[in-house]
Structure 1
Amino acid sequence: MNDTLLRQWAMLRSIPRHPRKIDASSLQARLVDAGFAVTLRSIQRDLIKLSTEFPLVCDGSKPQGWSWHSSADQLNIPALEPNAALTFKLVENYLRPILPTNTLAQLQPWFRSATGVLNSTSGIGIAAWPDKVRVLPKGFQLQPPVINEQAQAKLYQALLQEKRAFVRYRPRYRSGHKEYIINPLALVVRDQTIYLLCTFWDYQDVIKLALHRVEDVQLLDEPAIQVDGFDLDEYIKSGSFGYLLGNETLNIEVEFTWQGANHLRECPLSDDQSLTTIDENTVLLRATVPNTEELRWWLRGFGDSVKVLGPSWLRDEFRQAAKRLLNRYSEASD
């Protein structure tokens, strides 16, 4: 491959997509840094010549700014390898809900290029991988909640730019809406729900807002207030997404049937989990877990395959719930 072609190839890769742009002098500096000895005049001639073959646009300003057209398939320089195309296809399929709107817009030509590469490859091997893989949510699958796309885009922008925002929000258990000034901190996707972690006004308490309950967002030209020592991973580990009912951990003792305990042998409930055989039908589980509502949902999901032994107050809680359930079914039969 001759030097001129290599230089022009490098030029095409250095030109941004519209609305960003680059002038000939900046291109020359990049090419010199990359080891190409080229004059400014040669750069200008190359740009004019390349614009007849590729979707390059010039804004006519001084100095002239060059861009790829916003819909151009820039990744054809060079073409995507099948493995890279597969990666972009999986990103499109599974990460779309959590990517900022501007990022998605920038990635659209890449997604189209990836689809084209995979479609042009034989229908076996890496090209067939997207048809062979699915990611499913845990448990009974519900339809995802509907999100206001404009509000979502503005919240993502506020998070990226670390700006405050005015939010009109519909609380889960109240009619009407509430209005807050928020400081966005992070996003968490749990099952099919996207949560924004933020603080209100000048407070430091971290709050979770479900994006599908956000009705309106207005960006504010004010820096977001950060939470001292906030760490997203530590926040998640604290059990905040398990609907904490108390800060203490629980040393639980639960009897399972053998069938009910089978998956715990492969997927332990905690680092200190122990399973003790009681008899041919019963296994005793001991584990240290957070005190969450989610723990209760999980245990109830086993139905009559589980019996809570301790702590005693948790056993009483399940006993009372079982009585209420029995009464409800008795009323239904009457």
Structure 2
Amino acid sequence: MSKQSPHDTLERLWDLLELLPNSQPGRTANELAEALENNGSAITTRTVERDLVKMAERLWVEHDGARPQRWCKGKPKTLDALGITTSAALTLCLMDRYVSHVLPNALTDEFRALFDKAANKLESIREQNRLSQWVGKVAVEPATLPTLPAKVKPEVVKVVQECLLSEEQIEIDYQSNPEVDAKKHVLNPLGLVQVGPITYLVATPSGTEQPLTFALHRISQAKRSYTPLIKPSGFSLDAFVAEGGVQFGSKGTISLKLWVSRVLGRSLAETPLSKDQKMQPVSDGHTLTATLPNTWRLKWWILSKSGDIEVIEPTTLRGEISSTLRDAANRHT
């Protein structure tokens, strides 16, 4: 048989799609091959089988799983009915790996079939398309020592997400730490923030406008109130995060002056602490200045670099770091 042109192949595929019944019972590949031959396309049953498999990957075509398989048109499902390009499949797979855990359950449930189809798409073209292998060539690794995610009750996640999407108040039982009993709170939920392995609900307690954070794994019960929430004037989740709202500690910024070693200085020259960071070389390292949120995370970072860093200003922070290091040294003697 002579090789068909792309135009002839496309015409055959359109003819094949038109020959498929709209529902089961469908038609076998042999029956479809005979129908195509009657339409003037001399094609083997094996070629029709390959065409159907490819069409099922990108279009709404399905079979009954019997032997021989009987094929028909399936029900179109929004994006699924359009097929998936390689770039879209790659994006969906990366989204599934790194983003799906912070999406509403209703959305991830709806997209699960699409995520699976994207993975199947990349696997099916692995040998023909180098882009399909990109997922296996990238990874995300936390800069700090990784820990396992805190366990969150699925029913709590469901209610929190429903209240966020419906913009209504939520009633929770919250245990601020394992040594105290849970307390009831009525909150105005404003957003979710993922900090390493922990998910925080940003919300204002009823009657206040001060956004606070509540770790989802410490919520033992959650209930919808069906009462519209009251949002603080001018609140922005992005601004709340940028200002250190989920880093904990006192509010406001701090003008920091540090001595850092040459090794740490080289790293901070490439990945600055802030946009206004400035560094000046000195004989044994660098002097660094930067404006940062005054948070616990800053103190933890300084302590984690204690061999390569010295706080010069402010003196209050220098005193706190010195006291913590002395206590730590005493524990290790």
TM-score normalised by the chain length of structure 1: 0.74
Structure 2 CA distance for aligned equivalents of residues 80 and 276 of structure 1 = 52
Q: Distance in 2 between matches of 1:320 and 1:104?
A: 47
Could you list the per-position Cα deviations for residues 23-58 of structure 1 after superposition, in whole angstroms to 9, with x for gaps in the alignment? xxxxxxxxxxxxxxxxxxxxxxxxxxxxx93344xx
Aligned position for 1:54: 73
Do residues 219 (structure 1) and 219 (structure 2) align? no
Provide the secondary structure at the position in 2 that maps to 1:141: coil
What CA deviation, in whole Å up to 9, does each residue of 1:247-267 have, x standing for no partner? Answer: 3x3222211110121111111
User: Is the counterpart of residue 290 in structure 1 residue 293 in structure 2?
Assistant: yes
Structure 1: 4+ residue segments shifted above 4 A:
73-76
The 3-state SS of whatever aligns with 2:332 is helix
How many Å apart are 1:176 and its aligned residue? Answer: 2.1
> Kindly tell me: are residues 152 and 76 of structure 1, through their superposed partners in 2, closer, same or farther at Cα, counting changes over 3 Å?
closer
Aligned counterparts of 1:305 and 1:100: Cα–Cα separation in 2: 42
Whichever residue aligns with residue 54 of structure 1, its letter is K
- Alignment partner of 1:112 is 2:131: no
**Residue in 1 that maps onto 2:46:** none
Aligned residue number for residue 47 of structure 1: none
Give TM-score scaled by structure 2 length: 0.74
Partner AA of 2:170 in structure 1 = A
Aligned to 1:232: 237
Equivalent residue letter for 1:182? L
CA distance in 2, matches of 1:326, 1:156: 45
Quote the residue 2:27 is aligned against. none
* Paired amino acid for 1:77: A
Is this contact kept in 2: 1:138–1:191, CA < 8 A? no
**2 CA distance for matches of 1:202 and 1:188?**
23
1:276 and 2:276 equivalent? no
Question: Aligned equivalents of 1:134 and 1:272: distance in 2?
Answer: 30
The 3 A distance-change label for structure 1 pair 318 and 76 is closer
Match of 1:179 in 2: 184
- CA drift of 1:174 comes to 3.8
Question: What amino acid sits opposite 1:307 in the alignment?
Answer: E
Aligned residues: 268
Kindly indicate whether residue 155 of structure 2 is the aligned counterpart of residue 150 of structure 1: yes
Aligned to 1:243: 248
- Kept in 1, the 8 Å contact 2:156–2:222? The answer is yes
- Following TM superposition, by how much is the alpha carbon of 1:74 offset from its aligned partner in structure 2, in angstroms? 5.7
Question: SS in structure 1 opposite 2:224?
Answer: strand
Alignment correspondent of 1:126: 131
Match of 1:259 in 2: 263
Where 1:244 maps in the other structure, the secondary structure is coil
Q: Residue 331 of structure 2 aligns with which residue?
A: 328
Q: 1:189 aligns with which of 185, 194, 199?
A: 194
Instruction: State the alpha-carbon separation in 1 of the partners of residues 276 and 332 from structure 2.
Output: 38
CA deviations 1:211-245 (Å, max 9, x no partner) are: 11111111122111221111112212222122132
The equivalent residue for 2:54 is none
Partner of 1:313: 316
CA contact (8 A) 1:118 1:127 kept: yes
How far, CA to CA, are the matches of 1:244 and 1:143 in structure 2? 24
Deviations 1:65-112 (A, max 9, x none): xxx6xxxx6655332111111111111111121111111111012112
1:245 match: secondary structure: coil
Contact 1:75 1:113 in 2 (8 A): no
- 2:90 is matched with 86
One-letter amino acid of the counterpart of residue 112, structure 1: D
For the residues of structure 2 that align with 1:120 and 1:246, how far apart are their CA atoms? 52
Q: Distance in 1 between matches of 2:302 and 2:125?
A: 48
Contact 1:74/1:110 (CA < 8 Å) preserved in 2? no
Aligned with 1:241: secondary structure?
coil
Q: Deviations over 1:170-221 (max 9, x none)?
A: 2126422111112111111111211111122232221211111111111122
- Structure 1 regions of 5+ residues with no counterpart? 10-51, 57-67
Asked whether the equivalents of residues 80 and 114 of structure 2 are also in contact (C-alpha less than 8 Å), the reply is no
Shift, 1:145, TM fit = 0.8
The one-letter code matched in structure 1 to 2:316 is W
